[in-house]
Amino acid sequence: MSRAEIARVSGVSKPTVSQALAVLERAGLVREAGRTSGSKGPTAVLFALNPSAGHVVGVDVGRERVRAAVADLSGELLARADQRSRAQSAKALITQIGKVARQVSDQAGLAWSRVTVTVVGSPGVFSEDGDHPTLAHNLPGWGRAGVLDAVRAELGTHVRFDNDVNLAALGESRFGAARGVETFVYLHVGTGVGMGILLGGQLYRGATGAAGEVGYLPLAAGDLFDPKTRRRGALESAIGAAAIVRDARAAGLRGVTAAAEVLAAAREGDERALVVVRTLAERIGLALAATASVLDPALVVLGGGVGRNGDLLLEPVRRALASVSPIGPRIEVSELGADAELLGAVAMGLVVAEDRLFARAETKGSIAV
C-alpha cells in the first residue's frame, strides 16, 4: 500500500502516516515493496509488512498427537512436526511441548529467541486468571494447578493458551471453510465434543471461557441426571468416539475398538454400522438445532476425527437439522481436517505477534496517531 492509500483507509493524515512508516521501517516491521505504475503523475512508494520481522509457533496438544508449526508474519509455514503424544503425565507432556516447539524452530533455521509468541492449544477451558485448564478430562494431569506456568517455564517465551476447538474455528476462519464468514460455529466431534464460536468476526468465550462446551448440552443421552453423564456431558456421551464404539457393539459389530473402524464399516455398506451413523447424524442435528436457535450462525463447519467424515455425515446431518428446526444454517465440512487446530494456533499467534511488535515499535519510536 502507498502512503496515500494507508491515509485513506485509516483516516489518519498523510504526515502522520509518513512518520509512522518511518518508525516502522527503522524497526524492520515494514519495507518498501516497489512503486505504483500504470497511472498518470508521479509514482508512489508501496509498503508491505516485513514477513521476517517476527515468527510464531503454534502447538496443538491432543490425546493422541502433539503437532507444532512455525510461521513468519505472512502466515507462511516454514516448518512443522507431528509426534505421538506422551500424555501419560503432565510432566512428560510439558517436556514434549518444549521439544517439539524448538524442533520446528530449528528446522526453520531460527534461533528460539526470534520466536515472538507461541500459542498452545489443548482441550479444556482457560480462564484469564487461571493457572490450569478445567474440564480437560482427556489429558491426564492437565488440570493440575500450575500446569500453565510450567509450560511457560519450559518454553521461556511469550505464550498464549486457548481451547483447541476455539483455535480450530480461527483456523477455518483464516485459512479454511469459513473464510469471509463473520458469524459461524465449528463443531468438533471426535474423542471429545466441543464448539468454537465466532460472532461478528470475534471469538466468543463467554463469561468464564466455557462458551462452546456443547458436550454438556443435555441432549441425546439415556439418563441426563446420571452423575457419570454430568462428568463427561450428555451430548459427548452420545456422539463422542467412545459412544460410537459402544453403539456399534450394541448393534452387533463385535471386536470394534475405535470409531474409525465403525465409519470404515459403514463405507463398506455394513447395515449395522450404517444404522449407527444415521443415529449419530440425528444426534448431531439435534445439537445444531439447539445451537441455531440461540446463535443463528450463517455457517456450521463440521470437524474433528469423526465430524470431518463428510461423505457419511454431511447430508444426513443436513436432513436431521431440517427435520427438527426451521432455522437452517449452511453446513459444510472442515477444509483443514486434522490441521485445523494447529493452523488456528498459528492464526492466533499472528495477531498477537503483530500487536506486540507494533506496540514495541510505537513505544520506541513515539508514534502518535
Give the model confidence (pLDDT) of 222-263 as tens digits: 778 888 778 789 999 999 999 999 999 999 999 999 999 999
Q: Are residue 163 and residue 205 in the same domain, yes or no?
A: no
**Domain total in the chain:** 3
What are the tens digits of pLDDT across the range 301-359?
Answer: 999 999 999 999 999 999 999 999 999 999 999 999 999 999 999 999 999 988 887 67
Provide the residue range defining the domain that includes 239.
177-334
Q: Is the pLDDT of residue 368 over 80?
A: no
**Do the domain assignments include residue 325?**
yes
Whether 369 is covered by a domain: the verdict is no
- pLDDT over 70 (residue 18): no
Instruction: At 199, give phi and psi (nearest 5°).
Output: -120, 120
Q: Is residue 362 part of a domain?
A: no
- Residue 297, classified by CB atoms within 10 Å of its CB into exposed (0-12), middle (13-18) or buried (19+), is buried
Q: 310 and 219 in one domain?
A: yes
User: Same structural domain for residues 17 and 144?
Assistant: no
Beta-bridge partners for 80: 69
pLDDT at residue 35, rounded to an integer:
64
**Domain assignment of residue 61, yes or no:** yes
Residue 218 has pLDDT above 90, yes or no: yes
In the block, which residue shows the cell 492437565? 142
Q: Pinpoint the alpha helices (H) of 11-136.
A: 14-26, 90-107
Chain Cα centroid distance, residue 300: 14
Same-domain status, 329 and 203: yes
What is the spatial distance between Cα 44 and Cα 8, in angstroms, rounded to a whole number? 14
Task: Kindly state whether residue 366 falls inside one of the protein's structural domains.
Answer: no
User: Looking at the structure, do residues 12 and 57 belong to the same domain, yes or no?
Assistant: no
200 is a domain residue? yes
Per-residue pLDDT tens digits for 304-314? 999 999 999 99
Task: For residue 323, tell me if it sits in a domain.
Answer: yes
Confidence check: pLDDT of 362 > 90? no
Residue 221, C-alpha cell as written in the block: 443421552
Specify whether 45 is located in the same domain as 59: no
Same domain membership, residue 213 and residue 69: no
252 and 230 part of one domain: yes
* Domain shared by 231 and 123, yes or no: no
Give residue 360's pLDDT band: very low, low, confident or very high (50, 70, 90). low
In a domain, residue 289? The reply is yes
- Does 79 share its domain with 155? yes
Residue 141's pLDDT band (cuts 50, 70, 90):
confident
Q: What CATH number does residue 311 fall under?
A: 3.30.420.40
pTM for this predicted structure: 0.87
Clarify whether residues 330 and 181 are in a common domain: yes
Residue with the larger pLDDT of the pair 232 and 113: 113
At 269-312, the pLDDT tens digits run 999 999 999 999 999 999 999 999 999 999 999 999 999 999 99
Residues 158 and 190 in one domain: no
